[in-house]
Chain A
Amino acid sequence: MSTGPDTAPADTVSAVRPFLLTSGRVAVESTLPAETQVVATTEGLGALGSLAFEHRAIIEACRAPLSLAEVAARLRLHLNVVRVLAGDLKNTRHLTVHAPQPDMSSDVDVLRRVIDGLRAIPTSTGSGSVPASEKD
């Protein structure tokens, strides 16, 4: 199937084709997990005025560290679009990208820290406002 500039992919339902924002580029940073942390650099914040829409929105959102998934959700962008744009901003040093270590699932120390951390979270007030039915 053609995916040229005049032909939207058949399975795209959005009125705005997501990858228009990336000039059609895909999968540049596809190996970055969704929880990868991104944070704006001083250069990035200083260059806000010169950045285009989505790049600018990402930098503004990332004054404090966020995951790629959070950036995508907040800006209502496809996760893969954010991956590509974050890669752009990393290359221009407007954003630092902190990918998680690849082998943490077999890291005894990390697992112990997560278990201890979970056991310590306050849960007594956590169940009051949760809806009984699921939305998915």
Chain B
Amino acid sequence: MNTDTYTDSYSIRPPMPVKMVIAGGFGVGKTTAVASVSEIEPLTTEAAITEVATGIDDTSMTPHKTTTTVALDFGCVTLDPTLKLYLFGTPGQDRFGFMWDDVTEGALGALVVVDSRRLDDCFPAVDYFERKAMPFAVAVNIFDGSLAYPLSAVREALDVDAEVPVVSFDARSATSVRDSLVVVLELALTRAATAAAAAAAC
């Protein structure tokens, strides 16, 4: 478990931390979604992410990488005294070429928040989690009480794998955000169970 390199019987045993990522374009509802389920006011810290210059046509060139400092919004939910879920809203998805590995590494899954009127804003996030093979769902945020396009049209436009759930949600509703996170976790669970069964069969 979470043992340190040395034991200190005096220090308090912290809960086991797990995390999920809430991604999406600028102003799409990421921080609102984090705030809806977080037990604390969402906090912001500065973190470093890597920006990869897009010179992909020239394979002879090493990709030029620069580190950019971004504001990272996050919240948390204590699920029980030994288990605490952190929710990180990953920044900068409205631009291609960002690598959020520092934030997403080890996450249980991701929710990609989408404004159906600005679908292309979420392409970098969808592309990123597909490449990382991280379980994710697309959550279309309901603005003004309605969707600009039906979910089937959103799915078709995003061209995501059939197993990727596409749901509608209200980023302001704790129940709605919670249920969307559970959808991601159920996909993760299905994958994990399948992998475990395959490993057992070998």
Chain A interface (Cβ < 8 Å from any Cβ of B) = 11, 18, 30, 33-43, 64-65, 67, 69-70, 72-74, 77-80, 90, 93, 96-102, 104-108, 110-121, 123-124, 126-127, 130-136
Contacts and interface: CB of A to CB of B under 8 A. Distances in A.
Judged by DSSP, the binding face of B is mixed
Nearest to A119: B182
26 contacts: A34-B72, A34-B102, A37-B15, A41-B8, A41-B10, A41-B11, A42-B10, A42-B11, A70-B43, A70-B76, A78-B47, A80-B47, A90-B4, A96-B11, A98-B2, A100-B16, A100-B106, A104-B18, A105-B108, A108-B192, A113-B80, A114-B18, A116-B79, A121-B174, A123-B174, A134-B32
A109 to B, nearest CB: 9
Interface of B: 1-4, 6, 8, 10-19, 26-32, 35-37, 43-48, 66-69, 71-74, 76-77, 79-80, 83-86, 88-89, 91, 102-103, 105-109, 134-135, 170-175, 178, 181-182, 185-186, 188-189, 191-193, 195-196
Contacts of B189: 108, 111-112, 115
A41, A69, A106, most chain B CB atoms within 10 A:
A69
A75 to B, nearest CB: 9
Contacts, number: 208
B36 A130 contact: yes
A90 B11 CA distance: 12
Contacts of A64: 12
A69 B196 contact: no
B4 A105 contact: no
A110 B44 CA distance: 27
A134 B80 CA distance: 29
B104 to A, nearest CB: 10
B69 A33 contact: no
Contact of A114 (B85, B134, B172): B85
A105 B107 contact: yes
Nearest to B133: A105
B17, B19, B185, most chain A CB atoms within 10 A:
B17
Given A111-B189, A126-B173, 15 more contacts: A34-B19, A35-B86, A65-B12, A69-B72, A102-B106, A110-B18, A111-B108, A112-B189, A113-B79, A118-B181, A121-B178, A130-B36, A132-B32, A134-B29, A134-B31
